[in-house]
Amino acid sequence: MFTCTRKDVANKVYSQCLHQVNDYCKRLLPIESIIFFGRQGVLLRGHRDDGTLLVQSSDVSSTSDDGNFRTLLRYCVSCGDTELEKHLENISTLATYISKTTQNELIKCCGEEVLHTAIQWVQESGVYSVMFDETTDVSHVSQLSVVLRYVREDKVHEDFVQFVDPRSDSSSPGGNAREPSLMGITLGGEVVRMLRGFCLDLKNCVRIATDGCSVIVSELRGAV
């Protein structure tokens, strides 16, 4: 009698734990939204990215520019996603897991997973080529974009892997250089360090592709 009662209690505890696990898994579905935006190249943020997500229809002005991510979650709720609505209504304001901080952490995790897979495919391909070029972003900061080219399943793939800072602290006395050092030898050294950091064998790099400018192909100080 006592044994049966104890088993019954254990089963109830197990069932409750299983229910909580399933409930938490359903609450992770918004991560799919972030992955979707990443694949489509759509920005997540808006002018504001905080505050209450679920609002009354009469208060639309307060959410008119809070970003694509929050807008999509709100749209899912309006289309009948009761699990998401329940999560947003019952959670604490300190644990919503939809803040910009959480978005950044999830984007970083996704990026690390994509990069890990790309590097693994490059290693499996045996040989590869590297393409790099210096460019300037919207804030006028110089950066070096690096792309790896390889063959997988009889198809050529070109995967962006990293932005490299072309600035060299050793290019000026005292090591306090503030301006980018765009000498080819510096850029080439950064690319080599990056490839070694990915544990890629430099002997398997069969080709280097650049735009052919003098900084890259100079006989004295060029990158290649």
| Same structural domain, 148 and 184 | yes
| Same structural domain, 131 and 209 | yes
Residue 203 covered by a domain:
yes
| Same structural domain, 58 and 125 | no
| Same structural domain, 209 and 126 | yes
Torsion sign, CA atoms 14, 16, 21, 26: positive
Residue 110 covered by a domain:
no
Residue 109 covered by a domain:
no
| Same structural domain, 90 and 125 | no
Residues of the chain with pLDDT > 90: what percent?
Answer: 21
Bigger pLDDT: 184 vs 200: 200
Residue 87 covered by a domain:
yes
| Same structural domain, 132 and 177 | yes
Q: Which pLDDT value is given to residue 180?
A: 47
> Which of 157, 145, 163, 158 lies closest to 211, judged by CA?
145
| Same structural domain, 137 and 67 | no
pLDDT digits (tens, 9 = 90+) for 159-197: 999 888 776 544 444 444 444 455 566 777 788 888 999
Residue 69 covered by a domain:
yes
Q: Which pLDDT value is given to residue 150?
A: 96
pLDDT digits (tens, 9 = 90+) for 132-155: 887 777 777 778 889 999 999 999
Backbone angles phi, psi at 160, to 5 degrees: -70, 135
Backbone angles phi, psi at 200, to 5 degrees: -95, 135
| Same structural domain, 135 and 195 | yes
Question: How far is the C-alpha of 189 from the C-alpha of 183, rounded, in Å?
Answer: 10
| Same structural domain, 26 and 94 | yes
| Same structural domain, 142 and 76 | no
Q: Which two tokens stand for residue 93?
A: 């304001």
Q: Which pLDDT value is given to residue 99?
A: 81
pLDDT digits (tens, 9 = 90+) for 67-95: 888 888 888 888 888 878 887 777 766 66
Q: Where in the sequence is the domain holding 140, given as residue range(s)?
A: 116-217
Q: Which pLDDT value is given to residue 60?
A: 53
pLDDT of 56 higher than 60: no
Number of folded domains that form the chain:
2
| Same structural domain, 181 and 210 | yes
Residue 79 covered by a domain:
yes
* Contact call for residues 155 and 132 (beta carbons, < 8 A): no
Could you tell me which residues are beta bridge partners of residue 207? 129
Average pLDDT, the chain: 76
